[in-house]
A and B are shown apart, each in its own frame.
Chain A
């Protein structure tokens, strides 16, 4: 369906702090030399949808051009008081919370526009979270191809098997976006998934 010169819109979705921007940065840096956005330990660092156009990914002689779409983390609740523990002023925390709620709404709106989606999950966290199920359910309903990434496999408590058990219908690729671990398998999966677009 997509010729070489057509950009495939590749969305990065998932809960806050799972590493969506870290992974998008890693890919953009590898193939364009530039990052897509800033990362932080404070949740909801990405509060607006970020793009990087014409990212040509080359892997084992294959090439595809993507429009990378990095989205704010989707959550069902946002409390400004949660940000105060990161030594943020009350005003900054409230502003961040307000922007984060708008970010969630923006992420949801963008679901319709994706050609394929990487759902980034934190391999340390419990995957049986309704947000994860709702996001993937929406993508299934829209017939958008999905790849699940279990990020942070460099951490001791990471449990990819738990994610595989929760979503057995999907390929689950364990990676560390921070250290660039297992990205070969990730790119392999991206090219395989693009055939379903």
Chain B
């Protein structure tokens, strides 16, 4: 985050950042893994997950959270971004490798950021940086 935006962070109330090591969800099935993640997000936390979900789990997460909009007060969906190592590789190259790693027990070089849209306004990203814009 740039310095100008960082100065306004003090005004944001009611959320925390949780780090979840992949080892915590490694042994779980997809359902339980998503349930764990949703529990953290719906508790108004910004989740930083070591590793990444498979693309089908990411899609399920989008579908499941869409189904919650209108049923959970003030819930408007999520913001989601995956940052992977290997800057020289393309997104999909890294992603394919990430899926393979997940199947083998987790892509530890990746980091997944997930937050409720009520807290995270936008995650701007390009190959060189990631910028988290928070709602005031």
Taking a contact as CB atoms under 8 Å apart, the answer to whether B92 and A133 are in contact is yes
| Size of interface on B: residues with Cβ below 8 Å to A | 32
Partner of A167 from B58, B63, B67, B91 at Cβ < 8 Å: B91
What is the count of residue pairs linking A and B with beta-carbon distances less than 8 angstroms?
A: 93
| Size of interface on A: residues with Cβ below 8 Å to B | 34
Taking a contact as CB atoms under 8 Å apart, the answer to whether A104 and B62 are in contact is yes
Complex contacts, B82 vs chain A, CB 8 Å: 130, 133
A128 nearest in chain B by CB position: B125
Taking a contact as CB atoms under 8 Å apart, the answer to whether A137 and B117 are in contact is no
Taking a contact as CB atoms under 8 Å apart, the answer to whether A141 and B69 are in contact is no
Which 7 pairs from chain A and chain B are nearest by CB?
A77-B77, A137-B55, A77-B117, A79-B76, A101-B66, A134-B58, A104-B66
The reply on B42 being an interface residue by CB < 8 A is no
Complex contacts, A168 vs chain B, CB 8 Å: 90
Taking a contact as CB atoms under 8 Å apart, the answer to whether A105 and B63 are in contact is yes
B92 nearest in chain A by CB position: A169
Q: C-beta contact mask, B19-40 vs A, less than 8 Å → 1, else 0?
A: 0000000000000000000000
The reply on B134 being an interface residue by CB < 8 A is no
Distance in Å: Cβ of B91 to nearest Cβ of chain A: 6
Complex contacts, B127 vs chain A, CB 8 Å: 128, 165
Partner of B70 from A97, A104, A109, A169 at Cβ < 8 Å: A97
